[in-house]
Amino acid sequence: MKTLRRQMLCYLLLCFAVTTYAEETISINTDNTSLIYKVDKDKKLRQVYFGSFLDAKEAEATQVTKADAYPTFGTSYVNEAALRAVHGDGNTSTELYFEGVEQNKLSDDITQTIITLKDGYFPFTVKLCFKSYAQNDVIEQWSEISHTEKKPVTLYNYASSHLFFNEPSYHLTQFCGEWAMEMNMVETQLSRGVKNLESKLGVRSNQHSHPCFYLSLDGKAQEKAGRVVGGTLAWPGSYRLSFEVDHRENLHIISGINPYASQYILNPKEVFRTPALLYSYSSKGTGD
């Protein structure tokens, strides 16, 4: 009887492990664009694709990468972290695991997706929030951070989004200028390391530069051809758009409020919501 109980217990534990660690695919779609995430066997959320529309079967066939959906300081292998927090006990590391996902149709055109991530040790939660606008091929993304720790948590970095690309080359177009000379376009090929587009002015942050960009994935940006990502941060204060090409030629784009002189004390049960990054993908150049 004891042997039978032990076998049944082992079977139940095996079933639980399979259920818990099975890969899950999350698709965020517009009419012509797909952003795909997968939950790997370790319950880590990975971005695996962003580009032209994929149907459900094609989305399932995408391969899991090691790209954290929301890189955290102390546990993610990137120079620029999307999240850096000091917990109530002084611990500086956070490691987020997939908790669940909700998708709701807000209208015929708009779908909202909320992916919940939780720290493996602290009662600390990050929600990655999206609204996809089908007809306009625009994705709006922001994050919501909360906790129920006994003491306040200090947030030092709290990005709105992280986008990951694996391409042979990247050409970044930024916008800069001054009074009567606004929105001049400057294009640069990104190399290994980090390039930041940012303002630390606090107010009138777009006086000399602007929190928007084009990213061309097929050489220099063209008006009527090539794969291009365009993004803009809906935030009038100090901002930072960080572009990091790592040692494997992967590109990480982390967008949000500039962490310079911007640490935030987050009290228990309070929700900190970041501004949104709005971005779009074109396979037909910047004009499209």
Q: Tens digit of pLDDT for each residue in 94-137?
A: 999 999 999 999 999 999 999 999 999 999 999 999 999 999 99
The dihedral sign for the CA sequence 64, 188, 244, 256: negative
Kind and range of the H or E element at 71?
Answer: none
In the chain, which residue ranges form alpha helices assigned H by DSSP?
A: 2-21, 56-61
Nearest to 254 by CA among 94, 82, 127: 82
Q: Is 74's pLDDT higher than 90? A: no
CA distance 9 to 31: 47
Higher per-residue pLDDT: 75 or 36: 36
Token duo for residue 107: 């209208």
In angstroms, what CA-CA distances link 86 with 91, 94, 233?
Answer: 6, 9, 26
Token duo for residue 15: 């079933």
Three-class SS string for 201-226? CCCCCCCCEEEEEEEECCCCCCCCCE
Q: Is 168's pLDDT higher than 50? A: yes
Token duo for residue 154: 């200090």
Question: pLDDT value at position 225?
Answer: 96
207-229 average pLDDT score? 93
**pLDDT digits over 44-54, tens only?**
999 999 999 99
Domains of the chain from N-terminus onward: 24-282 (2.70.98.60)
The percentage of the chain sitting over the pLDDT mark of 90, rounded to a whole number, equals 81
Locus of tokens 């095996």: 14
Question: pLDDT value at position 22?
Answer: 56
Higher per-residue pLDDT: 209 or 29: 29
Spatial neighbors of 2 by CB under 8 A, at least 6 apart, are none
Q: How confident is the model at residue 198 (pLDDT cuts 50, 70, 90)?
A: very high
Q: Are 253 and 259 in contact (CB under 8 A)?
A: no
In angstroms, what CA-CA distances link 204 with 233, 235, 274?
Answer: 14, 11, 19
Question: pLDDT value at position 162?
Answer: 98
CA distance 142 to 159: 8
Q: How confident is the model at residue 75 (pLDDT cuts 50, 70, 90)?
A: confident
How many residues are listed for the chain in this entry? 288
Residue 105 CA to its chain's centroid (Å): 21
Q: Are 139 and 33 in contact (CB under 8 A)?
A: yes
